[in-house]
Amino acid sequence: MTHYLGELLLYWCRSCNLPVLGKTCACGAGTKKIDITPPGDVRPAFRYDIDLINRTTEKQFGLKIIPEGGLVVLNKAPYEDRMDEVIFDGAVMGSLRFELERMDWVFIPRLEGARRLVGGRKWVVVDKGAIDFIIKGASVLAPGVNEAEASIVEDDEVIVLTPQGEIIATGRARMNAERMLTHEKGMAVKTRWNGKPQLIEQTNAGVKRTWDDAVIANMQILKKLEEKAHRFIRNVVETTGKPVTISYSGGKDSLATLLLVRDAAAGFDILFADTGLEFQETLDNVKQVAEELGLPLKSHSSGDSFWQSIDNFGPPTVEARWCCKVCKLGAITRLIEGSYEDGCLTFIGQRKYESEIRANSEHIWRNPWVGNQIGATPIQNWTALHVWLYLFWKKARYNPLYEEGFDRIGCWLCPSASMADFSRLKEIHPELNEKLEKYLLGYASRSGLPEQWVTYGFWRWQVLPKSIRMLAEKMGIDIAPKYAKKPVNFTMTAGYRPCKTGGVTAEGSFGAPLALSLIEDTGFMGVIGSTNSIDGVILAQRGEETVHVYASGTVVARGGDEENARKLIELAEKTIRRALSCTGCGVCVGQCASHAISVNGTARVNQKCTRCGKCTRACPVVKFG
């Protein structure tokens, strides 16, 4: 599905041979709009990216596609893993994509890119009688192949030529060169891009350009963006009247936001939530940026919370990223609660081009998980290229991981990351990859899953997307677990029945003894009502409603009617689960308006509790456990 999260803003100045984010270059010349795939969040290609593209085209076609000295931009396009459109000299040359079946990169040339690969390998020459049909979109049939370069094998990307050597199509081979030349019936090349022969478009190609040149070409655009962002920041600061903070993650977006706020507001703190899963490069960058700018840095680390929690929750998935709550949200909640009694205003580097959810969000919002934090973003309408040009302009110290092949920086084992990212992780941080892989392989073994569940990244989903599921089926990989981890079940043992003393009782059991001392120590039962403990029973009471928790694992709730009894025993089950499995993440702290929760190893509820129940509803143990 195509998602237009904002206007597609990439243009190219033919005169300067530079990317421009508007219809006019600073040189005064008009620009050509580049037809890119939505959402159009274009970014620079760094040295590593260019080398990777050239290594890939050289391996496939025998030639490097990108000449020295040119500027290249990449546009991430929708795909089952990672795919970037490669753009330079004013045209989309093709796509570099990471194919899971091969676990390797493949370059898929468009016609413009193929013109720069002529003279290499992987070409077929078609009969003149087939030319018009292929130009109009037909695939190449084997009887119409006159010549085929000998190294072509099935599934290779190939270039289709006329007898005069003109390019009319590119596509994927459906048979090897030898079979093509037997002229047997069948499709030789499934074409992707078709068109009339053309010469390479001239755009001052060959003139060496730098990103400083691109900054100059876009300076008018950047200055207008900066002025607008500064006005927004000053207005929000004045309107809210709260202490000003910046959420800095070590990523490019939050760095641009930090620099904007630095120049528009006075007296603020940098907040850094260390998830315990940060790259060392990120930790170093956060510290260096704070020191260089002379700004106070307030941070909180979740330490080893992820590894302490993973056995309880299982590996995080795209659908159930419990780690975000346990490791990130908990850290930022505790950081704000401990530093700003009346809350704070936090500027955050959020952009609409990142996702559909962010495209539909506001510039200013109240954090639903951190009740005393107001969030605001001054770069909501910026593309990644706006951000990068701004950072280049300001000579900012950005995270070096961007120059190592990562387009987004976050937790190194995020399930939302691509297998291309994990492949790169293995190369630059083998120790981190080994730690994750060791755990996943053990989990797979305990669950009766094959090693391929780890190798191809199937662990990242609870339910595989259709394209990934089809890949697993094609490769003959059975990803259904053979041994499901047995949960701690809570079952109703007596249903709902009238009580002799009035009301209705509900009775259930965990089917195993409960550690009442642990449940009592957390104070969580106080969320239900005032508590008492005697002879292996915890009693929680509010008015006429009561809950009895027995050491045997039995729970009895009494309410005024069946509906109340049902709600009460459901709340009791969740409260007991929280008490027994609390990770100390601190997410509940931000939900408590009465400041009744503290965290020291695990959460503790005190007498200030008003029993609103928000902390229970927010708890990741209850949701994901």
Structure tokens at 608: 């200030």
Query: Rounded CA gap, 277 and 242, in Å?
Result: 30
What are residue 522's phi and psi, to 5 degrees?
-70, -25
DSSP secondary structure string for all residues of 276-337: S---HHHHHHHHHHHHHHT--EEEEE-TTHHHHHHHHH-S--SS--HHIIIIIIHHHHHHHH
Residue in 50, 18, 201 with CA at minimum distance from that of residue 116: 201
Query: Rounded CA gap, 97 and 79, in Å?
Result: 8
pLDDT of residue 17: 94
Among 158-167, 429-438, 555-564, the least confident range: 555-564
Q: Model confidence over 437-485: pLDDT tens digits?
A: 999 999 999 888 999 999 999 999 988 889 999 999 999 998 877 665 4
Half-sphere CA count of 469, side-chain side, radius 13 A? 7
Q: Model confidence over 250-308: pLDDT tens digits?
A: 999 999 999 999 999 989 999 999 999 999 999 999 999 999 999 999 999 999 989 98
Residue 327 reports pLDDT greater than 50: yes
Report if pTM > 0.75: yes
Residue in 589, 493, 253 with CA at minimum distance from that of residue 390: 253
DSSP secondary structure string for all residues of 398-435: --GGGGGT-SS-S-TT-TTS-HHHHHHHHHH-HHHHHH
Query: Rounded CA gap, 52 and 379, in Å?
Result: 30
Structure tokens at 107: 């370059």
Is residue 415 within 8 A of residue 316, CB to CB? The reply is: yes
Name the CA radius of gyration of the chain, rounded: 30
Residue 11: strand pairing partners: 20, 33
Residue 602: strand pairing partners: 600
User: In degrees, to the nearest 5, what angle opens at C-alpha 439 toward C-alphas 272 and 275?
Assistant: 5
Residue 249 reports pLDDT greater than 90: yes
Which is more confident, 227 or 372? 227
Residue 194: strand pairing partners: 169
Structure tokens at 599: 């965290």
Give the relative orientation of helices 252-264 and 280-293 as an angle to the nearest 10 degrees: 10
Query: Rounded CA gap, 323 and 305, in Å?
Result: 9
Which is more confident, 281 or 503? 281
Terminal-residue alpha carbon distance, the chain: 32
Residue 623 reports pLDDT greater than 80: no
pLDDT of residue 3: 52
Which band of pLDDT confidence, cut at 50, 70 and 90, is reported for residue 201? Answer: low
Mean pLDDT over each residue of the chain, to the nearest integer: 90
Domains of the chain: 1-113 (no CATH), 117-199 (2.30.130.10), 218-404 (3.40.50.620), 429-474 (no CATH), 503-624 (3.30.310.50)
Residue 108 reports pLDDT greater than 70: yes
Interacting residues of 83 by C-beta distance below 8 A, sequence separation 6+: 76, 77, 95, 96, 97, 98
Query: Rounded CA gap, 193 and 326, in Å?
Result: 47
Is residue 479 within 8 A of residue 528, CB to CB? The reply is: no
pLDDT of residue 515: 82
pLDDT of residue 565: 87
Q: Model confidence over 533-584: pLDDT tens digits?
A: 887 889 999 888 899 998 878 888 898 888 888 889 999 989 998 888 887 8
Query: Rounded CA gap, 209 and 193, in Å?
Result: 29
Structure tokens at 278: 């940060």
Which band of pLDDT confidence, cut at 50, 70 and 90, is reported for residue 360? Answer: low
Which band of pLDDT confidence, cut at 50, 70 and 90, is reported for residue 44? Answer: very high
Burial class (CB in 10 A: 0-12, 13-18, 19+), 4: exposed
pLDDT of residue 583: 79
Question: What number is the average pLDDT over the span 198-216?
Answer: 81
Residue 496 reports pLDDT greater than 80: no
Query: Rounded CA gap, 508 and 48, in Å?
Result: 59
